[in-house]
Amino acid sequence: MRALRPCPPASAASTNPVPATLTHTGALPHMNLNISHLSAAYRAGSLKPSQLVRQLAEKIHAEDTHHVWIDRVNLEEMLIYACQLEAMDPTSLPLYGIPFAIKDNIDLAGYPTTAACPDYAYTADQHATVVKKLIAAGAIPVGKTNLDQFATGLVGVRSPYGACKNSIDPDYISGGSSSGSAVAVALGMASFSLGTDTAGSGRIPAAFNNLVGIKPTCGLLSTHGVVPACRSLDCVSIFAGTAEEAHAVLQVAQGEDHEDAYSRRAPAQAVHSFPPRFRFGVPRTEQLNFFGNPETPALFAHAVQALTAIGGQAVEIDFSVFLNTARLLYEGAIVAERYAAIRPFIESHAEAMHPVTRSIIQGASKFSAADAYATLYQLKANQAQAQQCWDEVDLLVTPTAGTIYTIEEVEQDPIQTNSNLGYYTNFMNLLDLSAIALPAGFQHNGLPFGITLCAPAFHDLALLELAQRLGR
């Protein structure tokens, strides 16, 4: 980092007033953290990064009733980033002065990385590659967020730091495992955030908090500096308010990294957009599952109509190979990769783990090497079968989750509720797909519903462009 210069005191920070959308009382309920809004204010000179972080710190450091944070960057440290930026032209960096949150299985230099397990924690001596890229582009880190321990879960309640509560109705789950990252954005404490996604952790929380969630092609974003869940399947994911803002972050965060053996560069022939007339797959009616929710089937049907209205043709497909692949993630030997990721820790500190997380990961010890190969052979066959789908359609649309649960419902039945949430998500990385979760309406109780668009690897930009066509 460059040599620091002191920030002026708050009263002398600028002769320009803070924009009306940033004027606040108490808990700052109306801060506009949209990237486009902040960037325009910086360029106009009506806002400085130091002004923003002074106001944002008040909200971030207020009582954490939703259990969003594991660690928060203090105001003095945020001001260091802000004052470095103020020596620069606001147009010189794509994410100049944009605040972001980081899931606490991703390294931020000088801060503990806990993976929501205090006994596992270590202090990172350098930023994860993706964090380093974002900071170099002008983004300001504001804190480390809560998660399902060791990124194992889709619910957001498996944490000693408290069950992360839904941003709209705190009686409901936030989704996981990237729970705090989604809620931080939804509650206006960050413009965007980083999560991870192995089995749906970057999509379920997006759906439950009315956000856009990018699950990029595996390897498109480096996982160097990320605590692995299943190293061969892990992705760093992005939460944002709109597809346009998610796109701006993706453009900065992506890129091949020699420090990550699973890193990949997008090929020159990567698809950047779907044609004006496109075909999208929809699971057969009998293969759709809404788990007894009476409202979400109609919301999904409306989303299908919206895709048709912008030029899509719905094609019913046999979804069975996707469902069969999803089962391999936890019911087959692939779950042993979670055990391998933290083997020394779980073999010496199993009692320090959340009981549900421990039971899932310890259960992998029953599989043999022969079992692992049998599972890989089955996965290869499934991949070949799934490939036939892409000969018929350009992309696939599903619900992100068929329903949502209260925190109490999940605590009463932690395994089955979590399994239900993975119905439409667990197959994605096993089949090397790109995906984006999008808001798709609200139930009568005010809780959001979401859909996921997915396509083969390296269709990330095409999915983002289509999301923008949908007005997301």
Helix (H) or strand (E) holding 208, with range, is: helix 204-208
Helix or strand run (H / E) with residue 465? helix 460-469
Contact between 165 and 397 (Cβ < 8 Å): no
The SS3 call for residue 456 is strand
Phi, psi of 65 (to 5 degrees): -70, -20
User: Is the CB of residue 209 less than 8 Å from the CB of residue 175?
Assistant: yes
Give the separation between CA 10 and CA 84, rounded to whole angstroms: 16
Nearest residue to 203 (alpha-carbon basis) of 463, 407, 425: 425
Amino acid making up residue 211:
L
269 CB-contact burial (10 Å; exposed 0-12 / middle 13-18 / buried 19+): exposed
CA dist 300 and 308 (Å) reads: 13
Q: Is the C-alpha dihedral spanning 160, 162, 167, 168 positive or negative?
A: positive
Query: What is the distance between the alpha carbons of residues 364 and 368, in angstroms, rounded to a whole number?
Result: 9
Is 14 a residue of the active site? no
Residues 212-224 as b/e (b if ≥16 CB within 10 A, e otherwise) read: bbbbbbbbbbbbb
- Specify whether 144 is catalytic: no
Instruction: Given the residues 177, 178, 193, 237, select the one marked as catalytic.
Output: 177
Catalytic residue among 39, 48, 50, 103: 103
Q: Give the sign of the dihedral formed by CA 230, CA 236, CA 242, CA 246.
A: negative
Angle in degrees, CA 255, 113, 190, rounded to 5: 65
To the query of whether residue 103 is one of the catalytic residues in this protein, the response is: yes
- Cα separation, 468 vs 472, in Å, equals 5
364-365-366 Cα angle (round to 5): 90
Burial 355-378 (b: 16+ CB within 10 A, else e): ebbbebbeebeebeeeebeebeeb
Write out the E strands in 343-432: 395-399
Q: Which listed residue (50, 167, 174, 201) is catalytic?
A: 201
Nearest to 199 by CA among 245, 150, 258: 150
DSSP per-residue codes, 251-280: HHH----TT-TT--PPPTT------SSEEE
What are the residue numbers of the active site? Answer: 103, 177, 201
